[in-house]
């Protein structure tokens, strides 16, 4: 959307976080607004952790139509919202907020974005055996989404075992039908996995891998939520071993598409949004965040 089409009726959307200077969301959402001829603009709103409450009040006061929320605010915004969807409550994190005439409603589209990205692999999540590498915010959202979708087993391997243990403890009662465990890497090696997911940043800035796939008994499918570089060392090894795999571009795209629909009620033009992401990625630094 070019600046000459902006006027007093232009709706404003954005992404809030710290930092957000390299966010790819403005390119993706502005391309969508332009494609559907929506009088709206999407910008980045840098905000520090100390500014969360004031940032939320700013969304209300300035009638910002909606925002995406990225690190480190996804959990911090919860107390300041008027309504939180059941899924976001389960995850304990919000990544999308809609302003309904001053009433702020929060949801989480990371979960749906990741599950939709798995469709290209044709992974059957119900009854699947899944190993997660990492225990941060992304692992938290994916654990909830995968367990909610019926995974039979989710084991978490993290450099700091206590963090993984806290995550398991928090969600064990919510998902009694899923075998949730903390596992050392050696334990993962000895088990067959339908899906291995890397939620860590290992491989993003340096040519290294969080695990050696040769050491595993069986990995049927692999997902790495890093999307730049497009092919991490882990994904290169998966290709060599002929393990079907995806990077994080699909998750980024589809969480954005879900957010777009949550705000506008319209079907997102995912093809246009994907093209905008790919174009922007050519010049952006390595990343796995919004």
| Cα 201 to Cα 209: distance, rounded to the nearest angstrom | 10
Give the chain's length: 290
Q: Which of 241, 181, 246 is nearest to 217 (CA)?
A: 241
Neighbour order of strands in the sheet with 179-182: 179-182, 153-157, 129-133, 192-198, 218-224, 245-246
Max distance between CA atoms of the chain, in angstroms, equals 61
| Cα 256 to Cα 251: distance, rounded to the nearest angstrom | 8
| Cα 191 to Cα 42: distance, rounded to the nearest angstrom | 45
Question: Residues 127, 107: contact at Cβ < 8 Å?
Answer: no
Six token digits for residue 44: 């980045």
The residues, ordered by sequence, that sit 6+ positions from 44 with a Cβ below 8 Å of its Cβ are 14, 15, 20, 21, 23, 25, 26
The yes-or-no answer on residue 74 being catalytic is yes
Q: Which of 132, 219, 127 is nearest to 178 (CA)?
A: 127
| Cα 107 to Cα 154: distance, rounded to the nearest angstrom | 24
Question: What phi and psi, each to the nearest 5 degrees, are found at residue 121?
Answer: -90, -15
| Cα 142 to Cα 132: distance, rounded to the nearest angstrom | 9
Q: How far from chain centre, in Å, is Cα 257?
A: 12
Give 203's strand partners. Answer: none
Give the active site residues.
Answer: 74
């Amino acid at each position: 959307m070019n600046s000459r089409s902006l006027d007093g009726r232009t709706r404003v959307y954005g992404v809030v976080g710290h930092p957000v200077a390299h966010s790819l969301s403005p390119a993706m959402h502005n391309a969508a607004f332009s494609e559907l001829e929506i009088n709206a603009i999407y910008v980045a709103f840098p905000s520090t952790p100390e500014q969360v409450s004031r940032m939320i009040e700013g969304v209300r006061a300035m009638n910002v139509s909606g925002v995406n929320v990225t690190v480190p605010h996804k959990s911090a915004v919860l107390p300041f919202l008027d309504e939180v969807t059941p899924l976001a409550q389960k995850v304990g994190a919000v990544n999308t907020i809609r302003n309904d005439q001053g009433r702020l409603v929060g949801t989480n589209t990371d979960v749906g974005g990741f599950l939709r990205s798995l469709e290209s692999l044709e992974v059957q999540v119900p009854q699947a055996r899944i190993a997660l590498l990492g225990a941060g915010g992304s692992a938290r959202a994916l654990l909830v989404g995968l367990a909610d979708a019926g995974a039979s087993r989710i084991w978490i391997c993290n450099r700091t075992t206590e963090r993984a243990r806290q995550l398991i403890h928090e969600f064990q009662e919510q998902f009694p039908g899923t075998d949730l465990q903390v596992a050392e890497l050696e334990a993962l090696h000895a088990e067959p996995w339908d899906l291995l997911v890397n939620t860590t940043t290992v491989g993003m800035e340096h040519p290294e891998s969080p695990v050696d796939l040769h050491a595993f008994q069986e990995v049927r499918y692999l997902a790495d939520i890093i999307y730049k570089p497009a092919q991490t060392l882990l994904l290169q090894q998966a290709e060599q071993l002929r393990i079907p795999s995806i990077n994080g571009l699909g998750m980024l795209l589809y969480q954005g598409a879900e957010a777009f629909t949550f705000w506008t009620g319209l079907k997102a033009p995912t093809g246009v949004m994907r093209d905008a992401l790919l174009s922007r990625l050519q010049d952006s630094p390595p990343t796995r965040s919004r």
